[in-house]
Amino acid sequence: MKIYMPFLSLLLLLSGCSGKEGLMRDFDDDMAKNGGDDTDKIQVVVGTYNLRLQTTADVGELHWESRRQWVRKIVDDHDFDILGTQEGYMTQIRDVVEDKDYAYVAVGRDDGVSAGETCAILYKKDKFAVEAQGTFWFSQTPDIPSSGWDATIRRICTWIKFREIESGKIFFVFNAHYDHQGNIARVESSKLMLEKIQEIATDFPVMMTGDLNSEPSSEPVTTLIGTKFLWDSKPITKSPATGPEGTYYGYNLSTSPNSRIDYVFVSRKVHVLEYKVIEDDFTTGNIASDHLPVRIKVQF
């Protein structure tokens, strides 16, 4: 079933709960109605990270050969259980996980196998088992490699059905990268995203990671959160959010970023305990990517 909600209705809906307090109140009410009292909870550290593709346009310290050591250090230092990455080619993903306790699921967006950028999902292989996996394209023909609407290139979402080995608990992670130019494509991608998540994950807990190329107040984001099926993790975190406001800085270390386009969303039944934008590029001066990663801790 497709979900459509006019933008005006979304604005009216969102205006009813202004600020963090209103969002927290709405989220807590939703949790109370939808199984928020489970006693057998697990905690998972989930992140999203646009790696910046490997390209000859980046030279010197910006080239992947230089940046990859800092990406690997960030992954080590911040101990993600699950990390959704965007833009990385297969070779870059292999560089990140080499000699680490991570496995990954990834396909190339160009052919559905290995060609082109990926939306890889990295996970600790000693903690999680993959029960199912898949990829769809943001287009009118989502099951085959394709671009849609006014998008300039093919865009994908890769997903995994996980089983936490110790508890047996089932949950899903969806990892997406929206188009950087197509306004219509970004909104339609959010509609398709909601449709696919509800079709694939049904009522299991969900985390959605991704670079949406969209600010929090934009229609692609309000479309995702407007139905209250998904929630932006930042305004509902139990502990105060830390790190800069933005996640994209374009290799410019002279100014703190204020462009927030990278997200982790959660479904009902998922409590967000911590939210952090990792600013190691700024604190160390070592450039890992043109984006900053987001790290959250959840409980469900």
Res. 257 pLDDT band, cuts 50 70 90: very high
CATH number at residue 189: 3.60.10.10
Q: Which two tokens stand for residue 263?
A: 């997200």
For residue range 153-199, list pLDDT tens digits in order.
999 999 999 999 999 999 999 999 999 999 999 999 999 999 999 99
Residue carrying structure tokens 């160390």: 284
Per-residue tokens: 267: 């479904």
What share of the chain has pLDDT > 70, as a percent?
87
DSSP state of 179: -
Locus of tokens 């409590």: 271
Instruction: Supply the pLDDT for residue 16.
Output: 44
Rounded Cα distance, 191 and 66, in Å: 38
How many C-beta atoms surround the C-beta of residue 238 within 10 A?
12
Q: Is the pLDDT of residue 4 over 50?
A: no
pLDDT class for 5, splitting at 50, 70, 90? very low
Burial of residue 175, with CB atoms counted within 10 A of its CB: 0-12 exposed, 13-18 middle, 19 or more buried:
buried
Sign for the pseudo-dihedral over CA of 9, 11, 15, 17: positive
Residue 224, SS3?
A: helix
Q: What pLDDT is stored for residue 22 in this prediction?
A: 57
Residue linked to tokens 């199984």: 35
95, part of any domain: yes
Q: How many domains does the chain have?
A: 1
DSSP-derived secondary structure letter, 206: E
Domain membership of residue 171 (yes or no) is yes
Kindly tell me if the per-residue pLDDT of 17 is higher than 60.
no
Q: DSSP H helical segments within the chain, as ranges?
A: 7-15, 19-33, 64-78, 90-97, 183-201, 219-226, 233-236, 280-284
Residue 187 falls inside a structural domain:
yes
Give the domain range for residue 145: 7-35+42-299
* Residue 1 resides in a domain: no
Which pLDDT score is estimated for 29? Answer: 59
- Inside any domain, residue 183: yes
Residue 48 lies in a domain: yes
In a domain, 15, yes or no: yes
pLDDT, averaged across the chain: 92
- Of 28-42, 89-103, 239-253, 270-284, give the lowest mean pLDDT range: 28-42
Using an 8 Å Cβ cutoff, are 261 and 209 in contact? no
Residue 71 makes CB contacts below 8 A (sequence gap 6+) with: 49, 51, 95, 96, 288, 289
Q: What is the pLDDT of residue 268?
A: 92
Short-list 224, 208, 110, 105, CA closest to 156 = 110
How far apart (Å, rounded) are the C-alpha atoms in residues 134 and 255? Answer: 38
Q: What is the pLDDT of residues 68-79, one digit of tens each?
A: 999 999 999 999
Is the Cβ–Cβ distance between 219 and 212 less than 8 Å?
no
Lowest mean pLDDT among 6-15, 48-57, 143-152, 186-195: 6-15
CA distances from 54 to 144, 231, 236 (A): 25, 32, 34
pLDDT single digits (tens) 19-53: 555 555 566 656 555 555 556 899 999 999 999 99
- The predicted model scores a pTM of 0.90
DSSP-assigned states of every residue in 63-114 = SHHHHHHHHHHHHHHHT-SEEEEES--HHHHHHHHTTSSEEEE---TTTSSS
- What pLDDT does 39 receive? 67
- Listed in sequence order, the residues at least 6 apart from 47 whose beta carbon sits closer than 8 Å to its beta carbon are 78, 80, 82, 83, 84, 209, 264, 293, 294, 295, 296
2 in a domain, yes or no?
no
